[in-house]
Amino acid sequence: MTTRGPLADALVLDLSRALAGPHAAMMLGDLGARVIKVESPDRGDDSRSWGPPFVGDDSTDATYYLSCNRNKESVQLDLKSTSGQESLRELIRRADVLIENFRPGVLDRLGFPSPVLEELNPRLVVLSISGFGHDGPDSQRPGYDLIAQGESGLMSLTGPDPDHPTRVGVPIGDLLAGIYGAFGVVSALHDRTRTGRGSVVRTSLLAALVGAHAFHGTAWTAAGKVGSGSGNHHPQIAPYGTFRCADGIVQVAVGSEGQWHKFAALLGLDADDERFATNSLRLANRSELIAAVEDVLLTRPREFWLTSCNEAGVPAGAVRTIDEVYEWKQTRSQGLVLEVDHPAVGKIELPGPPLRFENFEGQRLGRTEHTAPPTLGQHTSAVAEWLEGR
């Protein structure tokens, strides 16, 4: 298998489970790293059982598990046993990166605090992901995405109005913590080229979600304004949201005054109407603006408006279902759908990596083949033989 890529010479130990840590490890695997996933002997990663749906009729692996474990090898180790701990020590000695998302202190109690990790491998980069941070008064709380979305304020910014806080439809806290974590790992690996030493990278679901507050964060810290849910319409830009048309919904994102004039002309509205002449006025009169826009959009079907907006230079789009996204030619053209050979069920398709690498001539670089998420313990014997030099 071709594994060229920025991290083709790196070995990653994935001791994590569920989503945040496994997502970070998968990102590193997508970049070419060899990723060995260490799982408990009894049931393995918790997400293997988070179904239905499961892959295949006889498989016990949920599709949830498939979402964050491609390009990995699975070994079963009992980290509470002497033999399991010795195997882990040998893996640590050879590794470049170790990823864990135990509750703070658990890895220490297993016999692998930071000083031991450093003694085993001074060049080791450790990524440690927690729910609420590794210190502070709430550090020992278990971290689950739903809870973190509420505690971080994200749910208060999502939903139709302030009275209906809403969870984001994907586990965004886990995903962002994994992305931030992978970013921290590659930064630490780069730093290691200068210092010759590893380091510990820490992040949390709380940190990842607070880091994603964007303009809502600065609205409070710099201007004292508390944001709230505003549904599908942007709280600071108008018109920018979803609008009804003759056969459904169309999205329009007017991000500048120039685009507003183009959009108004397309709809036959007066761009200089005293209610709508500036973004501030359009926000102050948003209900009237939405009504005026929809009165026109309701006269034609979605495809007409998407084509017209595109021709006029006004950003617009459809609201696709998940199945439509994966059948969309644009999605597939970007390598966002992969076919892999699953050891239990054969050929399956998976969402693909979001990064592509090319040389300056436009030729694609990096991993050209991908492997399916492993079955539990699929590589235990092979990795044991590798450690023993056989």
Per-residue pLDDT tens over the stretch 231-275: 999 999 999 999 999 999 999 999 999 999 999 999 999 999 999
**Which pTM does this prediction carry?**
0.92
Nearest to 233 by CA among 274, 287, 166: 287
Q: Is the pLDDT of residue 222 over 70?
A: yes
Q: Is the pLDDT of residue 57 over 80?
A: no
Q: And the tokens for 258?
A: 């120039």
What pLDDT is stored for residue 311 in this prediction?
A: 96
Q: Is the pLDDT of residue 321 over 90?
A: yes
341 Cβ contact partners less than 8 Å away, ≥ 6 residues apart: 347, 371, 372
What pLDDT is stored for residue 365 in this prediction?
A: 81
Q: Is the pLDDT of residue 56 over 80?
A: no
State the chain's mean pLDDT as an integer.
Answer: 94
Q: Is the pLDDT of residue 113 over 70?
A: yes
pLDDT in tens, 185-200: 999 999 999 999 999 9
Confidence of residue 344 (pLDDT cuts 50, 70, 90): confident
Distance CA 354, CA 343 (A): 24
Q: Which residue has the higher pLDDT, 2 or 159?
A: 159
CA angle in degrees (0–180, nearest 5) for 135-118-140? 20
**What does DSSP assign to residue 389?**
T
Confidence of residue 58 (pLDDT cuts 50, 70, 90): low
Confidence of residue 390 (pLDDT cuts 50, 70, 90): low
Between 51-65, 146-160, 196-210, the lowest mean confidence (pLDDT) is in 51-65
Between 22-31, 124-133, 360-369, the lowest mean confidence (pLDDT) is in 360-369
Q: Which residue has the higher pLDDT, 2 or 307?
A: 307
Residue 37: beta bridge partners?
A: 14, 74
**DSSP secondary structure of 327-347:** H-HHHHHTT-EEEEEETTTEE
Domains of the chain: residue spans and CATH: 11-212+340-387 (3.40.50.10540), 240-322 (3.30.1540.10)
Confidence of residue 285 (pLDDT cuts 50, 70, 90): very high
Q: Is 174 a catalytic residue?
A: yes
> Catalytic: which of 138, 174, 272, 295?
174
Q: Is the separation of the CB atoms in 72 and 29 below 8 Å?
A: yes
Q: Which residue has the higher pLDDT, 3 or 289?
A: 289
pLDDT in tens, 29-49: 999 999 999 999 988 999 999
What pLDDT is stored for residue 1 in this prediction?
A: 43
**CA-to-CA separations, 264 to 83, 267, 281, in angstroms, rounded:** 71, 5, 15
Q: Is the pLDDT of residue 2 over 70?
A: no
Q: Is the pLDDT of residue 366 over 90?
A: no
Q: Is the pLDDT of residue 384 over 50?
A: yes
Backbone φ and ψ for 345, nearest 5 degrees, come out as -125, 0
Question: What is the average per-residue pLDDT within 140-150?
Answer: 94
Distance CA 205, CA 304 (A): 42
Backbone φ and ψ for 388, nearest 5 degrees, come out as -85, -5
